[in-house]
A and B are shown apart, each in its own frame.
Chain A
Amino acid sequence: MEEKTNNRKAEAYRVGLVVLILLATMTIGEYFIGSIAVGWSAPLWGIAILKAWLIIRDYMHFPRLLAGEEESHS
């Protein structure tokens, strides 16, 4: 039981770290797009939407809202 809980915690930590790495990579990417390709805003919008989606799904746990009261934290 305890091992299962620890595994779930480790998995949640891992997801958090992967999301951070993805966010950092995209942020650096958009910085270079913004500073080199001046006026090229379409990809910047795409990156912003992707970043927001990752945060809402994995950090804000939006699916938890839809799962109702029986959803446990993970």
Chain B
Amino acid sequence: MTVQTDSLSEYRYKSATNRLGLWLFIISDAFLFGGLLVSRFYLFGGTRPELLQPLGLVVTAILLVSSFFMNRAETAMAHGDQATFLRGTLITLVLGVLFLIGVVGVEWQIAPFTAGENAMSSMFFTMTGFHAFHVLTGVIFLFIVYRNGRKGLYTAERHFPVEAAAVYWHFVDVVWVFFYPALYLMGVVAG
């Protein structure tokens, strides 16, 4: 049983302020990924690295489905449905790990180039590496939220950490929405 010292209106006010801070962080982080995206087109323009396109599709699908379950988990918590919240968060977490395995464990291993080979290969590993670090951070964040959720720390009225984890997770998804076509689909394979 948690001690709730703030009134609900105070909690809502604090959540609104925290939400603003969260979005400021998200926007500043978006500039980093935007810079990487611009660098990709500046350095290799109409060409792209030789990657396994079906694998790109699979990891993208995994991330999109994870966002669906995270949205479901957050909605469930907002309506006091603890069981669905925990189940959704756990599924999201597992899908996040699968995404990391797909990119770092498979794609990085089978890529026909190494990180320091040329500008294109460096860009590929930088983009996917930065994104993978964000996914890893999201997985850790989700694990903390899941653990706290199991302890009953969140209620329908007081669950800003769940919202923050969800927004962060969806942001990571938005980044991949642009990285996936930029790396796997746009341009011709460099010779």
Residue of B nearest to A58 (CB): B71
What residues make up the interface of B, taking CB atoms closer than 8 Å to A? Answer: 9, 12-13, 15-17, 19-20, 23, 46, 53, 57, 60-61, 64-65, 67-68, 70-72, 74-76, 78-79, 81, 156, 163, 166-167, 170-171, 173-174, 177-178, 180-181, 184-188
- Contact check, B19 vs A64: say whether CB atoms are below 8 A apart: yes
Q: Which of B78, B170, B173, B186 contacts A74 (CB 8 A)?
A: B78
Q: Which of B65, B74, B177, B188 contacts A20 (CB 8 A)?
A: B65
Interface residue total, chain A, C-beta cutoff 8 A = 42
Kindly provide the distance from the CB of A46 to the nearest chain B CB, expressed in whole angstroms: 10
With A34-B53, A60-B171, A65-B19 in contact, is A19–B178 under 8 Å at CB?
no
- Using A31-B185, A52-B178 as known contacts, list a sample of 13 further A-B pairs with CB atoms less than 8 Å apart, ordered by residue number in A: A13-B72, A23-B67, A27-B61, A38-B188, A39-B46, A39-B187, A41-B186, A45-B181, A52-B174, A59-B173, A60-B171, A60-B174, A65-B19
- Contact check, A51 vs B177: say whether CB atoms are below 8 A apart: yes
Q: Within the assembled complex, what's the spacing in Å between the Cα atoms of A13 and B113?
A: 43
Enumerate 22 A-B pairs (CB-CB under 8 Å) in ascending A order. Answer: A5-B79, A13-B75, A17-B68, A24-B61, A28-B57, A31-B53, A31-B185, A34-B186, A35-B53, A39-B188, A41-B186, A44-B185, A47-B181, A48-B181, A52-B177, A55-B170, A55-B174, A59-B67, A59-B70, A69-B13, A73-B79, A73-B163
With A34-B181, A59-B71, A69-B12 in contact, is A27–B20 under 8 Å at CB?
no
- Which secondary structure characterizes the binding site on chain A? helix
Kindly provide the distance from the CB of B169 to the nearest chain A CB, expressed in whole angstroms: 9
Q: Within the assembled complex, what's the spacing in Å between the Cα atoms of A57 and B171?
A: 11
Of B13, B81, B167, B188, the most chain A CB neighbours within 10 A belong to: B167
